[in-house]
Amino acid sequence: MPLKDKEKLREYNKKYNQAHREQRRENSKKYRETHREQRKEYRRKYYQAHREHCIEAHKKWSQTHREQRRDYHRTHVLGTTHANGNKVHVSGLNKRPYTNYCEICGILKIEKLHYHHWNKEKLSLGIWVCFKCHGLVEAIDRHGDNLQKMIDRYLKLKETRDMVLMPAR
């Protein structure tokens, strides 16, 4: 027997939804998985029809949720540069938590740390480093085995140049 009184119906629906919350969540998840392409197509068409509104809403949300957006990028988005110089943003990652300090030198840098990833196949593996240390770890990754030879050669050249440039007494 359907409820005619709107208040009673509202109260009944509220209790029902609370009692079956997990079941409704599971059903919604299954629906999203099975109708992924239809939902994607619907969102694409909606965006095309309401482009200006969507852009304005996104700008407004970005301004009011600046910290939330920053935190999301710190944990799920990787900006990297290909060998050809093109910049790429890869999303959907689970990076290490942001540390607020360089994991190499320990300097406290709350805003400007770089995420250095070790493995091109597993971009989520990496460390948080400052700008200077990022250059250092990139050099280590690029030159690997020859790095110690390069350091020794540099120190030797520096020593001989200092001797040459020293004034005679």
- Please, are residues 3 and 12 in contact by the beta-carbon 8 Å criterion? yes
Q: Where are the beta strands (DSSP E) in the chain?
A: 77-81, 87-91, 114-117, 126-129
Task: Report yes or no on whether pTM surpasses 0.75.
Answer: no
Q: Could you read off the pLDDT of 35-54 as tens digits, one per residue?
A: 999 999 999 999 999 999 99
Q: Could you read off the pLDDT of 85-111 as tens digits, one per residue?
A: 777 777 778 888 888 899 888 888 767
What's the rounded Cα separation, in Å, for the pair 116 and 134? 7
**For the chain, domain boundaries:** 1-64, 95-169
Q: Which parts of the chain have pLDDT scores under 50?
A: none
Question: What are the Cα distances from residue 164, in Å, to 41, 160, 168?
Answer: 71, 6, 9
What's the rounded Cα separation, in Å, for the pair 143 and 135? 12
Q: How many helices (H) and strands (E) does the chain have?
A: 7, 4
> Half-sphere exposure (CA, 13 Å, Cβ side) for 138?
12
